[in-house]
Structure 1
Amino acid sequence: MKPQSKLKYVLAAGAIAFGFPQGAFAQNTIKVGSVLSVTGPSSFLGEPEDKTLRLYVDKINAAGGVNGKKIELVIYDDGGDANKARTFATRLVEDDKVVAMVGGTSTGSTMAMIPVFEEAQIPFISLAGAIEVIDPVRKYVFKTPHTDKMACEKIFEDLKKRNLTKIGMISGTDGFGASMRAQCVKVAPNYGMQILIDENYGPRDSDMTAQLTKIKNTAGVQAVVNPGFGQGPAIVTRNYAQLGMGDIPLYQSHGVASKSFIELAGKAAEGVRLPAAALLVGDKLPESDPQKKVVTEYKQTYESATKQPVSTFGGHAYDGLFILVEAIKRANSTDSKKIRDEIEKTKGFVGTGGIVNMSATDHLGLDLSAFRMLEIKNGDWNLVESGS
């Protein structure tokens, strides 16, 4: 099977095998679509999303489905190509007749698909990071990951506590990196931050020494912030250490919140801080934390099934799927418009990313408290103590 081929995953009970007519089969299932970057440069995001959706749809169906109907999950792999993502989105609407969509690994792919689902009036829960996915609010578009704007605010909040206000920036030119850079520039004055130098790198760049040398030689820089995802931030982190810049705090974004970043960056990752979901430090949360049960159970289930370390990216897919499932239950219907209305009414949903409270003006439903500031110590994630 080609990487970009359809990965159709029919999880309904074998109605055809038992002689039921195809019409009855269709009526007794709930078709949910997904377009993910399972292969390609964003596969470290898309692969755990794909595995999470398949794993939990299986579990939901084994437990009787949703309102007595099995979920039929139709997944396409866009390979990180936004044009392919749009093509697959059209196919999900026109050919597969899905009632809702959970997917969109990257900001670029998500933005390419939004017009398709908006026009078709089918709810789309994106797994991409940039704020532009839900700002401005579009009637049928929602998302589960914290926004890049929130990441900037959480980083600046932490910098302010450390009395560090003069920063250098180095950001990726990809959709997420460019969007987060713009958000950081926008909100920096609110936190008293001065951006003394602003560098960038392309998605195919394999060495950022030149840009980091400029930052190192800029007088007064007290910390460096790196908006980006993929391999770029790991290269930045390694080059940072090679240039002996370890005495200047380095902050990454939630776009690197997986163990693969630590593995790629190696010992250079020691001391790096980033905002991320509670999922990465579930075992370190107090028993009173409302997310502890959800994140520890997801981590155990995912790692047991896949033999791979959990990442926040799979967690975003978990949240998207269960927000949708709960909305379908409340709607007691597979009508896309009714499902959309119930997604928007989501209140008090405890997910891996935080406690979600959506509204007509907020299609994310998370605030800054959903972010935890983490520091990499001894090759693992650690909660930053307040004020440290």
Structure 2
Amino acid sequence: MKRLVCTFMLLMWADASYADVKVGVVLSLTGPAASAGLLEQKALAMLPKTIGTEAVEYVVLDDATDTSTAIKSARKLIVENNIDVLVAATATPTSFAASTVADEAQVPQIALAPFGIGILKWSFITPPSFATFAKAVVADMSRRKIKKVAFLGYADALGQIWLEAVTAAAAGTDVKIELAERYNRTDTSILSQVLRVVGAQPDAVVVGATSASAAEPQKALVERGYKGPIYHTQAAATKEFVRAAGPSAETAILPVSLPIVAEALPDDHPSKARALEFVRTYEAANGEGSRNNFASHLWDAGLLLEAAVPVALKTAKPGTSEFRKSLRDTLESIRDLKVSNGVVNMTAEDHYGYDDRAAALARVEGGRFVLAK
């Protein structure tokens, strides 16, 4: 397994006797989700250099957007590097795969992608849940008096969870998903699925794909004459999507993380200051307009660690099972923590911790994301 990002240590002291907090990070730096993973990689330098009295050591591995590799990477970090916390991973399937290892090894995980197959005791998720964004999507459909909906998305965990989330949010409303077309991330053509969707003449289409890959169904639907609104997941709201979709992006409606539309948030939104802080820091390093959902999720993982590690240090030293358990318990007890994606209130039943204030809808105007109206 190739370590694409070298271990880096940011030390307050030169004395190696101090116990560093070890953070294992698994990202999709290659493979189908690399367009998102590479954006997260750019946020690594924004993670805290020290927390409390301890320096922080980060070890980063590539999972190649492969669940088996994600599992191997997580195990390697836990067994060989004796990490205190696992930050993993870029995609929904790989995040869930890594969570099974974290749960088995009793190492806290901060996931960078949402997954909806229950909540494992040791896993916490920085993006808002699919359910949170699905509620916002269905509310917008109801406002537009949309009833007949078609789904077009990945035939994997992300596609299934997004389909289930929208279906659940639509329960009890006039919105009905009457057709679901699925495809593999590696398929070279989705023309047959697109034609079936267009032929069904839905009032709206919900796409379950990510980043630049979501541009393929967006463009294909528009090119085949579909004129209704096309809703996406939050994972599609990237510059890569806008660039790849071209003019067709103007018909897209996308749930977004708060930093994407930070300036347009109401001044009294509790996370506006954090969202703006992320935008200023990230764009100072990566250029104007470079903000994205994925990097904000990694930055928020750092905020969770800054809140939890000092408390856990009162119980035990890093590198011990006692420290890892204390860190897990502290993460679960976090209350009213303002991060760039919302306000976090974790409980034993909710390891996302967000409410409806974490959801925003955007559209594309002049190549930029603006709040949808």
Q: Same fold (TM over 0.5)?
A: yes
User: What amino acid is aligned across from residue 83 of structure 1 in structure 2?
Assistant: S
User: In structure 1, the residue corresponding to 2:137 is in which secondary structure?
Assistant: helix
Identify which of 240, 245, 253 aligns with 1:273.
Answer: 253
Residue 285 (structure 1) aligned with residue 285 (structure 2): no
Distance 1:368 1:210, change over 3 A: same
Partner of 2:46: 56
Identify which of 52, 60, 64 aligns with 1:79.
Answer: 64
Question: Structure 2 matches for 1:20-35, cutoff 5 A?
Answer: 20=15, 22=16, 24=17, 27-35=18-26
Question: Structure 2 matches for 1:245-324, cutoff 5 A?
Answer: 245-246=226-227, 248-307=228-287, 309-324=290-305
Partner of 1:95: 80
Residue 115 (structure 1) aligned with residue 96 (structure 2): no
Q: Deviations over 1:235-263 (max 9, x none)?
A: 111112211212x1111111102111101
Identity of aligned residues (%): 26
User: What amino acid is aligned across from residue 193 of structure 1 in structure 2?
Assistant: V
Q: Distance in 1 between matches of 2:120 and 2:30?
A: 29
Q: Distance in 2 between matches of 1:286 and 1:369?
A: 11
Partner of 1:152: 134
Q: What TM-score, normalized by structure 1, do the two folds share?
A: 0.89
Partner of 1:376: 364
User: How far did residue 14 of structure 1 move?
Assistant: 8.5
Q: Distance in 2 between matches of 1:214 and 1:115?
A: 37
Q: Distance in 2 between matches of 1:359 and 1:14?
A: 33
Distance 1:375 1:14, change over 3 A: closer
Partner of 1:179: 161
Distance 1:7 1:181, change over 3 A: same
Q: Distance in 2 between matches of 1:244 and 1:107?
A: 31
Q: Distance in 1 between matches of 2:122 and 2:299?
A: 19
The answer (yes or no) to whether the contact 1:122–1:337 under 8 Å persists in 2 is yes
Residue 142 (structure 1) aligned with residue 130 (structure 2): no
Q: Distance in 2 between matches of 1:207 and 1:284?
A: 37
The answer (yes or no) to whether the contact 2:35–2:212 under 8 Å persists in 1 is no
Root-mean-square deviation (CA, aligned residues, Å) is 1.9
User: How far did residue 230 of structure 1 move?
Assistant: 4.3
Q: Distance in 2 between matches of 1:229 and 1:191?
A: 27
Q: Which runs of 5+ in 1 are unaligned?
A: none
Question: Structure 2 matches for 1:159-170, cutoff 5 A?
Answer: 159-170=141-152
Question: Structure 2 matches for 1:358-373, cutoff 5 A?
Answer: 358-373=346-361
User: In structure 1, the residue corresponding to 2:146 is in which secondary structure?
Assistant: coil
Partner of 1:350: 338
The answer (yes or no) to whether the contact 2:147–2:203 under 8 Å persists in 1 is yes
User: How far did residue 165 of structure 1 move?
Assistant: 1.3
Q: Distance in 2 between matches of 1:289 and 1:110?
A: 29
Question: Structure 2 matches for 1:8-19, cutoff 5 A?
Answer: 8-13=6-11
Q: Distance in 1 between matches of 2:190 and 2:133?
A: 22
Q: Deviations over 1:191-245 (max 9, x none)?
A: 33222222122212344333222222225x2111112224432011111221121
Partner of 2:328: 340
User: How far did residue 167 of structure 1 move?
Assistant: 0.9
Partner of 2:204: 223
Partner of 2:310: 329
Q: Deviations over 1:304-354 (max 9, x none)?
A: 112371101100111112112210122334311111111001111111211
The answer (yes or no) to whether the contact 1:166–1:223 under 8 Å persists in 2 is yes
Residue 39 (structure 1) aligned with residue 30 (structure 2): yes
Q: Distance in 2 between matches of 1:330 and 1:142?
A: 17
User: What amino acid is aligned across from residue 45 of structure 2 in structure 1?
Assistant: L
Q: Which runs of 5+ in 2 are unaligned?
A: none
Which aligned runs of 4 or more in structure 1 are off by greater than 4 angstroms?
none
User: How far did residue 175 of structure 1 move?
Assistant: 2.2
Report the number of matched residues. Answer: 365
Q: What TM-score, normalized by structure 2, do the two folds share?
A: 0.92
Q: Distance in 2 between matches of 1:196 and 1:37?
A: 34
User: How far did residue 32 of structure 1 move?
Assistant: 1.0
Q: Distance in 2 between matches of 1:118 and 1:129?
A: 16
